[in-house]
DNA sequence: TTACATAGTGTTATATTATAACAATTTAAA
DNA sequence: TTTAAATTGTTATAATATAACACTATGTAA
């Protein structure tokens, strides 16, 4: 769905870094990690992040101000996202549940309004931290 | 549920301000508005906000870095919240849907894990902006 | 009441996250 | 090819949030 975009140099560098990261990355951590590749200023990072979010290659974890690569092939609508976040180790996992996305996409508020875009963040303990 | 807490002076001042506001308020806007009441530093605001969030009197709209008073009497679990956000006028409404909260509270991820805390933000157009 | 623990306050300084403004360059159409 | 749109590089600054420390109020229990 969002694979057709040709990324620019900065976008590719930043996407690769986030994609390889086992955890969500913060903007200034990204900046630090790409300085050796010639990206020197916060704005260069934020502009790439904005674009990557827009085309759905990455998502922003709003409660953490951090960015994670999309690993959800069923993530058709770039801005309909769901995550689980461990409150101890901060592990973040993108949830790909057809049932959940269907429920949320079909949810109607009091006025009968539907919303195709949403962001859902579940908080709890991951498998490892539960034991 | 969360009405029993006795607020301290700073907490009460800040809660009253947010509660009267027709829209979510940002921390430094709150600061500006309470300076005449003797609250002079960001930390005084953030500490009150933290406490008010913790006891469920207000919620943080994560995608907007703003705070709104809880007007959802069925908001039993302080940290299980849902909002609709208008992408044009930025109107924010707390959603109180028994069906939705039940669905989310009972949602199980791939590992069968349930989450009692969550934050859901729907994005779309409000009634006024739709016309 | 007195001691103690807990929570809240006031203050200064600083850290972290994000955008404004402007000039230059690249890219992709028309 | 020329023109518009997107991207880049750069400096400066705005907006959001926390660290550290000394002090004060409040509640609980001996
Ligand atoms: Zn995704
Ligand atoms: Zn964990
Ligand atoms: Zn509420
Ligand atoms: Zn609106």
Strands B80-86 and B92-94: antiparallel
Tell whether A89 and A118 lie within a shared domain.
yes
Task: Please indicate, yes or no, if residue A3 is contained in any of the structural domains.
Answer: no
Least Cα separation, residue A2 to chain B (angstroms) = 20
Tell whether B98 and B52 lie within a shared domain.
no
- The CA distance from A67 to A122, in Å, is 16
Question: Which residues of chain B neighbour A88 with C-beta distances below 8 Å?
Answer: none
Task: Please indicate, yes or no, if residue B3 is contained in any of the structural domains.
Answer: no
pLDDT band for position A11 (cuts 50, 70, 90): very high
CB atoms within 10 A of CB B68: 22
Tell whether B36 and B86 lie within a shared domain.
no
- The total number of structural domains that make up chain A: 2
Beta strands in A52-115 (DSSP E): 58-61, 66-69, 80-86, 92-94
Please give the model's pTM, rounded to 2 decimal places.
Answer: 0.94
Cβ contact A124:A87 at 8 Å: yes
Nearest ligand to the C-alpha of residue A129?
Answer: 2
Mean pLDDT over each residue of chain B, to the nearest integer: 92
**What local confidence, expressed as pLDDT, does residue B1 receive?**
41
pLDDT tens-digit profile of A12-57?
A: 999 999 999 999 999 999 999 999 999 999 999 999 999 999 999 9
Task: Please indicate, yes or no, if residue A74 is contained in any of the structural domains.
Answer: no
pLDDT average, residue stretch A61-66? 98
Cβ contact A83:A94 at 8 Å: yes
Indicate whether B3 pLDDT > 60. no
State the nearest residue by CA to the C1' of D8.
A44
- For chain A, positions 36-75, list CB contacts with chain B under 8 A: 62-63
Who's near A7: CB < 8 A, 6+ residues apart?
A15, A52, A57
Indicate whether B36 pLDDT > 70. yes
pLDDT tens-digit profile of B64-110?
A: 999 999 987 656 667 899 999 999 999 999 999 999 999 999 999 99
**What local confidence, expressed as pLDDT, does residue B74 receive?**
58
Residue A51 sits in a domain whose CATH number is 1.10.10.10
Tell whether A64 and A88 lie within a shared domain.
no
Tell whether B56 and B90 lie within a shared domain.
no
Tell whether B88 and B123 lie within a shared domain.
yes
pLDDT band for position B7 (cuts 50, 70, 90): very high
Tell whether A63 and A13 lie within a shared domain.
yes
Q: Does A1 touch chain B (CB under 8 A)?
A: no
Indicate whether A6 pLDDT > 70. yes
**What local confidence, expressed as pLDDT, does residue B71 receive?**
86
User: In which domain, by residue range, is A25 found?
Assistant: 9-69
Residue B108 sits in a domain whose CATH number is 3.30.1490.190
Domain termination residue (choose one: B69, B92, B116): B69
């Amino acid at each position: 769905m969002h694979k057709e975009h040709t990324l620019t140099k900065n976008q590719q560098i930043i996407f690769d870094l986030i994609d390889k990261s086992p955890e969500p990355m913060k903007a200034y951590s990204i900046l630090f990690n790409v300085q050796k590749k010639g990206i020197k200023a916060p704005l260069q990072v934020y502009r790439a992040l904005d674009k990557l979010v827009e085309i759905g290659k990455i998502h922003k974890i709003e409660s953490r101000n951090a960015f994670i690569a999309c690993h959800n092939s069923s993530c058709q609508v770039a801005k309909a996202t769901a995550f689980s976040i461990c409150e101890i180790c901060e592990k973040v996992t993108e949830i790909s549940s057809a049932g959940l996305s269907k429920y949320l996409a079909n949810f109607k508020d009091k006025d009968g309004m539907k919303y195709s875009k949403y962001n859902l963040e579940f908080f709890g303990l991951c498998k490892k931290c539960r034991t």
